[in-house]
Chain A
Amino acid sequence: MIEFTGVYFDGKTSRAYAVSVVFDGRTLHIRGVEGDYPALDIPLEDCTITPPLGNTMRSIQLPGGAQCQTSDTAAVSALERLTGQNRGMGFVHRLENRWKTAVGALAGLVLCVWVFVTYGIPFLAEKIAYSVPPELAEQMSRQAIEMLDRRFLKPSELDPGKTEKLQEEFQHLHSEIDPDSDYRLEFRKSPYIGPNAFALPSGLIIMTDELVDLADSNRELLAILAHETAHVKKRHGLRSIIQNSGVFLLVSALAGDITSITSTAASLPTLLARSGYSRKFETEADTVAALYMIRKGWGTGPFQAILLRITRDMADYPGESLLSSHPLTNQRVQHLRDIEASMPSGEAAE
C-alpha cells in the first residue's frame, strides 16, 4: 500500500484540486480532498510517470490528459520501480543526485576531452586529410596563395640563373622523398615575412628571396625544402586546419549556449592546442629532413646552420609571427643532433 497527497489537474482547465492517492498494488485511487471531485480509479499500467529530476515535484500522466503532481518523491519512485518505467533516466538521476558521482563525471569529462584532443581529433583529421580530393587541395591552395600575394608577398627579384640549379636539385629531392605527388618551387620577395619558406597542400612550395640570400649553400636550402616536402607529404597543412576547427567545435559544444562568452574564451584553448599540434608536425618534418640529409651523406650540419641563421635574422621582420609557428630553434637543433647521434656511423658516411 502506497499513500500520498498531491494536486490533480484534469487537463481541461487550470484549476488545481487537492487529492489523496492510494495505491492498492494494482490501481491508483485518486480522491478529491475537498468535495467528491475527482474520484478516479486508474490501473497503474495506464499511467506514465515523468522522469525524476533534481528535487523537483514528480508528476504522473493519467489517461485522457489529466495529471497528478506531488512533492512526495519517495512514493512516486516506489510506483516507478513497480512499473519499470524511466530505467535510463532514473539511472541518470541517481548520478546527478550525488556529489560523488558528479565529481566522477567531471573527472570522466576531463579524461574524455584529453583523450579526444590528443588522440581522437588528430586521428580523425588524418583520415579526413587523406581523403580530400587533389582538386580541392589545389583550389584551396590557389586561394591561399592569391591572398598571400596580395597582402604579404611581392614578385621575386632573384636572378633566374641563381635558382636554376636549386630547381634541378629540388626535382631530385621530392622524387626521392615523395615520388607520388607533384611539387613546384616558386620564389617571392617579402620584406614583411623575411627569410622563410612554406608549403601549400597542393605541393606548391614558396621560398622567399630573403632566405635564398641568407643561405651559404644550396645544401642548406635543400634541408629546408626537405622539411617543407615532408609537410606536404604528411598533409600537415590540411590536418592542422581540420584539427584546429575540431578543437574549436569541441570547446563551443562544451561551453553550450553562452555564445558571447565562448567566443572570447574559446580562442584560448584553441590557441594552446594549435601550438601543441604544430610543434608535433614540425618535429615530424624535421625528422624526415634530417634522415634525408644523413642518407645523402651531408649530415644535419647545413640544416642546423640555416635554422640558427634564420632565427638570428628574424627579429628584423615584423610579419614573422604571422606565418611561423615553429618550436624554439634550440630545441629543433638539439633534436637534429640527437637523430644524427643515434645513427650508426657507417650509415651516415654512406
Chain B
Amino acid sequence: MLNITAYHCPTTISEAVALLAEEGCAVIAGGTDLLVNPRYMVGVREVVDIRKLGLDYIRHEENWLCIGAGATMRTVARHPEAQGLAHGVLAQGAALCASPNIRNTATLAGNVASALPSADTPPALLVLDAQVVLTGIQGERIVPLEQFFTGPGKSAREHELIRELRIPLDTTRKMGGGFYKIYRTAEDISIVNAAASLLVREGIITMAHLVLGAVAPIPLRARKAEEALLGQSPTEENLRQAAEIARDETRPISDQRASADYRRRTSAVAALRALRQAAGLAKIEEVWQHG
C-alpha cells in the first residue's frame, strides 16, 4: 500500500491545475514511474489522475503534431504519423520502451516529466525539435524540450501539468531519422541510447541533430558532432567520425547496468547506428510491428 492520502480524478484541466498548485500533489498518468520508483513519491501525498481530461489524443494543429499527455507508448508506437515522421524515430523510441504491459499504460508525457537521463523517448523528441506545453494556474507556457531538462529527475516544470508535446512538421517532414538502444533484456532501461535526424540536400547535410541518452545528467545533444556533419556528405566515413566526436562529448557514470567506460565506448556505436538509419544507410527495424 502506497502512502497516498487522496486520489483525485478531475474532469477539467482547470480543476487539475488548481489541485497541482498545492504542495504534495502529483500527476499520476500510467503510474509506471510514480508507483514503482520511490524517488517520485518523495513529498507526494495526493495524486491527480489525468485520464478523464481528454488528453489521449495525437492530432494535427496547423503545422504541428500534437501528442496529448494521455497518449500511451503503445498509442505513439502504433500511430501512422509517428511511424512516418523521420523514419519513425519517435515510434521506435516508444516501441522500445519497457514491455508491452508497461507500454499499455506508460505515457509519452510521463517519460518526459520523469526527466530520467536514460529515458528512451526524450532523445527521439529532441531530434524532432519537440516543445513541451505546460499548463499551470497562471496559464499556459511553451518550453522547447531542449531547455526542459535541468538534471536527473529535474526539469523546468513547476507545479504544472504537461498538457501536450508538440512537434513541428514543416521541418521534420523532410528529415531522415534513427534511434538505437543498447540494453540487456527486452524490457530493460537503456545502457546507452541515441537518436539522430538529418536533412540532406543535393548530397550535403544541411541540418544534423544527434542526442545520446544515459551518458550525461540529461539527454545529451552532441553539438560538436552535429557541427562536424554540416556541409558533409552522409557517407559511412563521415558518420563514423561524427559518432566518435559524440563519444568524446559524453560524461557517463558507472552504475549497476554498465561502467562509465563501457557507456563511453558504446555511445559511439549507438550514435553511428542511429546516424546510419537517418542517412538511409541502414535498414530500419520496424520494431513497432510487435506492439
The answer to whether A binds B is no
